[in-house]
Chains A and B, each alone.
Chain A
């Protein structure tokens, strides 16, 4: 079976059994998803790099303990989230997301009010990503976390609820509020 057609669970299983090569496609498949989840929650590239390394080190180390009772992505994002929370708790490189959010709001406002004006227009498309990041920064942490878990991890509401240790209804509400807020903030870029 080729790596491209192999499931995440099969790849991590192969890696756990000693096939080092199985880790490469697994990493490449989820690298950006984990990166975005971390980076958009933490808001700091250096910290994200650090966390990224910790998360994947943990995946490699605990691969032998992975049991395919849950999807690999659920397991992966559980690790990512736990590492991120640990990082925030220890204030190792804590970033005030609220502060980022306020700054982001200014950027978003600027972009939304003057989307086609002067040199700013040239960078609108490019800055959409930045605007998105900033918009995410304006979300309450729980909503942002739930939204990023679902969209980057391609997880169901139940899986997000499991990872965040929240009830299904709470998780569902968080996701709805997060999307509504993002829709408002990004409506000009739709």
Chain B
């Protein structure tokens, strides 16, 4: 064969001859092979479709979990950081001054708070009430605010929440919270219809429910009643919990939302979080004393 020079290549002749001879070749794959191949191909497509559906569900679950856990972890961390910022200055400030500790110190602090309230308190609509509020404020709620961070004004301390906020809601005429007071129109109150506290409270709850974090924070800065309730007695915290809004739950808790504010049926946010299978929210609520 090596005697044949490669240059003598004439492929067309041989190829044509080969094709003519192939056309006469009666050998064929068996029909069983053909059927097996085509059936196998169809089965594979069906299996793939099933597997893709399964993997799609898995990936969706994974995506859901990622979308859930990432903000949840971040939210928890943010809540912890905010709580730390809130609590640490208070502990530092509550320490009695070593040299100037006199029996009249609490009153002094109360006065200071009353004097500084307009600066750190709610908006301009609440300012005229600052001195009155300071005077009416129980002594145990009086705390130094001068060193508190700006966010502190948006996050009443736990004691104030427990002691005052519920009472504030149940008795809105008590001049203890600007937003609750503002919710009840009074003669001479300069509240525009679009800026009505009732609307703000509803918008606030809505923001918590749908997970509008920026809207929620904006309304918190306007001193909206953090524990205002809808017709079913649900607070913003409860609505955020029911809808699994982890970030909003964390922010609400950090800003002093009542973790035990039950709805009209008596369901607490903790019960709702457990029922809704929101473990991160459960943990966050428990950290804030939810029962």
Contacts and interface: CB of A to CB of B under 8 A. Distances in A.
Interface residues of A, number: 46
Contact of A186 (B9, B21, B49): B21
Contact of B24 (A19, A39, A60, A128): A128
A179 B8 CA distance: 9
Interface of B is mostly: helix
A167 to B, nearest CB: 14
B25 A36 contact: yes
A190 B21 contact: no
B36 interface: yes
Interface stretch (B26-34, B179-187, B228-236): B26-34
A141 B156 CA distance: 89
Nearest to B30: A49
A60 B20 contact: no
Contact of A189 (B17, B19, B22, B42): B17
Given A20-B45, A23-B41, A180 B8 contact: yes
Interface in A148-190: 151, 172-173, 175-177, 179-183, 186, 189-190
A79 to B, nearest CB: 13
Interface stretch (A24-32, A69-77, A94-102, A114-122): A24-32
Report which residue of B9, B13, B32, B46 has the largest number of chain A beta carbons within 10 angstroms of its beta carbon. B9
Contact of B1 (A23, A64, A177): A177
Interface string A7-26: 00000000100111001100
A128 B36 contact: no
Contact of B38 (A24, A132, A177, A190): A24
A32 B13 contact: no
Nearest to B45: A20
B88 interface: no
A24 B13 CA distance: 33
B13 A49 contact: no
B21 A129 contact: yes
B48 A183 contact: no
B9 A129 contact: no
Interface string A45-85: 10011001100110011001000000000000000000000
8 contacts: A18-B49, A48-B29, A49-B33, A52-B33, A151-B15, A180-B8, A182-B14, A186-B14
Interface of A: 15, 18-20, 23-24, 27, 31-32, 35-36, 39, 45, 48-49, 52-53, 56-57, 60-61, 64, 125-126, 128-133, 140, 143, 151, 172-173, 175-177, 179-183, 186, 189-190
